[in-house]
Structure 1
Amino acid sequence: MRLATYNIEWMTNLFADDGALLNDSEPSGRYGVIRQDQIAALCNVFQALDADGVMIVEAPDQGRSRDSVAALETFAAHAGIRARRAVIGFANDTQQEIALLFDPDVLTVRHDPQIHAGAPQFDGEFAIDLDIDATEDRVIFSKPPLELAVETQGGTQLRLIGAHLKSKAPHGAKTRDEVLRMSIANRRKQLAQAIWLRARIAAHLDEGTPLILLGDLNDGPGLDEYEHLFGRSSVEIIMGEGEAALFDPHARQGLQRRLGAMPTTARFWIRPEQRYLQALLDYIMVSPDLAMHEGRWRIWHPLDDPECWKQPALRDALVDASDHFPVSLDISL
């Protein structure tokens, strides 16, 4: 079984309102890449992945005049891939949905939102004191995690959760003080989302349910200076500790190596500094029982993965398709 997570930058821009692909020479959401080239690149990447299920972060918009599932299934047909059915959960207003493309011959999948003590449904509100003022704040997800009940062809049942945590960027800040204030506030909200998500994970682990968390956590060990203010990254909160800890080898490596080389899953152009920033943002975390299955994790990084590097067409496609690279897990289920 191969599962993957893939953040596709502004995928919604590749589709008309009726879900048809805009396979033309107009600009895409990728800087300097036209739509037909991004579509061709994505086809190349998905064909190479050949995954049974792909958690898509920043999937096409779902709304009154937009159908994310129809758009994704149109893309799958165009690309000729096995993962040809799509499912989403709670739609959001960011034009960036969380969705799963999957092979219906291998997996049976349904949206199955949960409520547990201390962890309300993900389209609701989470009460937590963010600033230690003895007053509960109300936290929401701008992109509610996607909760899926999954059964394999062989009868194995498990949970998949797709996540895209809120960015910590201080959008709109004009002064240094505003940057500081907004960055700290955003960090608090993101950590609250991580606590909420971890509470759901803990409930499933207490029930003995095999679980896989996939997605872009927009955070990682040592990613910014505000982590030192709060002590832990949201990645550490979501993973948990001890016997109930989720496992992802890249996250573990990052946590153990705050300095020196570490895995990266995204590459962004920093205009003021005229350079690229690479970061570890995308994860596939598995429950302790599944960690015993000796899975194989892979970051499809065009510059770091030898198999990607020696295939020029795939290497270039990975660069054109998105500012993130897929992460895959091969595991026996």
Structure 2
Amino acid sequence: MSNLKFVLWNMEWMNDLFAKDDRSAQFLPDGEKTTHSSATAKQRRDDLSGVLRELDPDLVVIVEGPSRQEELQLFFDNIGQGKWIADLQPSPGQTQNIGIAVRVDTGKFKNPALQRIETKDDFRFNPFLLDTDNDEIKEQHRFERRPLYVEIIPEHGAPFRVLGLHLKSKGLFDAYEWSKWWEMADANRKKILGQATHIHDKFIMPYLTDKETKNLPLIVCGDINDGPGLDACEKRLHGSGIERLMGTIWQPEQCLGNALFDALKPKEQKALDFSSIYTTRYKDPIFNNIYQKDWIDHILYSKSPLKNWVRNAKINRNMPDGKSISEKYKHSSDHYPVSVEVVTG
């Protein structure tokens, strides 16, 4: 049996830290400003690395990783703590990709510690047709960012698999005429709902029932760009992306658990009070730059064959010394790292 600290983190435009892809993997010069923030490349590298050193994870799933595996490896080679193996699922034409890094100098993993299963040519993640709004017309959907699919091989205990996701953003941060704004908001939610439904129907359900995989524990995690409940657009679609991804109440034995929900107090669970859970905080330009808080980063897990194997979920808004991550490492990310303890049987 192994106890592993598993961290999911949207590290926000990691590609900004590196030179152009027409040369070997290298960092931007220290003093150069990054494209998507006011910070320098060194400020962002230092703050991202500082968070990871303090959290001290065994395994990190990275959302908004760079465009190349070599760049992700270069970053983890230079965080100043441990020896890491990094891998990444590239997506054609994308500068935001999903990656993973495993610390291999602690004796907690076999060699190799992970095996990435290529999804570039996996038909389950190809463009697909789906009727998301019950009008009997199928719309074409696609995954802008190919999911990351890996098997993790601990030194002790059973291997498990991870599906890392970054679904379509629903954010609209430019000014539009209101009818156009609502049209685009509806379209983005259709995309999220379509992607989540397709992953559930074509990947998760077969995984949990096929004899080749049903006994391999599974974590599905990432930036889903959706939280529990239905907003105004989702009410018209009669569906929520995260709830569609987790499964249907009519097949409870095949529903995925949600680690952050498990960590709520019993009173909060009973009332479905999610107000204490938020994984990102941002200024909303549509509403006078009011800060909005959303729960969009999720760690889901299969409930069979292992029981209670993903536990102690936490949103790391503060560092171990009690200081706020947004103050101590203000150039790190607009998302908070989510950590869980993974207990392999």
- Aligning the two structures, in what range does the TM-score lie when normalised by the shorter sequence? 0.7 to 0.9
Equivalences for residues 148-167 of structure 1 within 5 A: 148-154=150-156, 156-167=158-169
Question: Compared with structure 1, are the counterparts of its residues 92 and 280 closer, same or farther at alpha carbon in structure 2 (3 Å cutoff)?
Answer: farther
* TM-score normalized by the length of structure 2: 0.83
Question: Compared with structure 1, are the counterparts of its residues 113 and 32 closer, same or farther at alpha carbon in structure 2 (3 Å cutoff)?
Answer: closer
Aligned: 1:185 with 2:190:
no
Aligned to 2:337: 326
Aligned to 2:140: 138
Question: Compared with structure 1, are the counterparts of its residues 178 and 243 closer, same or farther at alpha carbon in structure 2 (3 Å cutoff)?
Answer: same
Equivalences for residues 240-255 of structure 1 within 5 A: 240=247, 241=249, 242-251=252-261
Structure 2 distance, partners of 1:133, 1:195, is: 16
CA contact (8 A) 2:147 2:164 kept: yes
Question: Compared with structure 1, are the counterparts of its residues 173 and 294 closer, same or farther at alpha carbon in structure 2 (3 Å cutoff)?
Answer: closer
Aligned to 1:297: 313
Question: Compared with structure 1, are the counterparts of its residues 192 and 99 closer, same or farther at alpha carbon in structure 2 (3 Å cutoff)?
Answer: same
Structure 1 distance, partners of 2:290, 2:133, is: 36
Secondary structure at the residue paired with 2:242? helix
Aligned: 1:264 with 2:270:
no
Question: Compared with structure 1, are the counterparts of its residues 127 and 83 closer, same or farther at alpha carbon in structure 2 (3 Å cutoff)?
Answer: farther
Aligned to 1:3: 6
1:153 maps to a residue whose letter is: E
CA contact (8 A) 1:145 1:164 kept: yes
Aligned to 1:65: none
Structure 1 distance, partners of 2:254, 2:321, is: 37
Equivalences for residues 73-92 of structure 1 within 5 A: 73-82=73-82, 84-92=84-92
CA-CA distance at 1:262 after TM superposition: 2.4
Secondary structure at the residue paired with 1:39? helix
CA-CA distance at 1:308 after TM superposition: 4.4
Question: Compared with structure 1, are the counterparts of its residues 220 and 92 closer, same or farther at alpha carbon in structure 2 (3 Å cutoff)?
Answer: farther
Structure 1 distance, partners of 2:83, 2:55, is: 10
1:117-147 C-alpha deviation (Å, 9 max, x unpaired): xx9332x122212344434332110011111
Matching residue within 319, 322, 331 for 1:310: 322
Gaps of 5+ in 1: 62-67
CA-CA distance at 1:258 after TM superposition: 6.1
1:206 maps to a residue whose letter is: T
CA contact (8 A) 1:42 1:317 kept: no
Question: Compared with structure 1, are the counterparts of its residues 185 and 157 closer, same or farther at alpha carbon in structure 2 (3 Å cutoff)?
Answer: same
CA contact (8 A) 1:23 1:39 kept: no
Aligned: 1:231 with 2:238:
yes
Structure 2 distance, partners of 1:214, 1:281, is: 10
CA-CA distance at 1:315 after TM superposition: 5.5
2:72 maps to a residue whose letter is: L
2:279 maps to a residue whose letter is: T
CA-CA distance at 1:101 after TM superposition: 1.1
Structure 1 distance, partners of 2:336, 2:310, is: 23
Aligned to 2:115: 110
| Sequence identity percentage | 27
CA-CA distance at 1:19 after TM superposition: 2.0
CA contact (8 A) 2:260 2:314 kept: no
Question: Compared with structure 1, are the counterparts of its residues 204 and 20 closer, same or farther at alpha carbon in structure 2 (3 Å cutoff)?
Answer: same
Structure 2 distance, partners of 1:92, 1:166, is: 16
Structure 2 distance, partners of 1:274, 1:256, is: 33
Structure 1 distance, partners of 2:5, 2:151, is: 17
Structure 1 distance, partners of 2:182, 2:259, is: 32
Aligned to 1:213: 220
Structural RMSD (CA):
2.6
Structure 2 distance, partners of 1:293, 1:260, is: 23
Of 274-283 and 209-218, deviating more is 274-283
Gaps of 5+ in 2: none
Question: Compared with structure 1, are the counterparts of its residues 270 and 162 closer, same or farther at alpha carbon in structure 2 (3 Å cutoff)?
Answer: same
CA contact (8 A) 1:269 1:276 kept: yes
Of 249-258 and 125-134, deviating more is 249-258
Question: Compared with structure 1, are the counterparts of its residues 235 and 257 closer, same or farther at alpha carbon in structure 2 (3 Å cutoff)?
Answer: farther
1:266-292 C-alpha deviation (Å, 9 max, x unpaired): 111224523321111111111103452
Structure 2 distance, partners of 1:203, 1:288, is: 15
Structure 2 distance, partners of 1:276, 1:309, is: 25
Structure 2 distance, partners of 1:213, 1:34, is: 33
1:153-204 C-alpha deviation (Å, 9 max, x unpaired): 2252221000000012357773211111221122112101001111211111
Matching residue within 60, 66, 82 for 2:66: 60
- Aligned residue pairs, count: 318
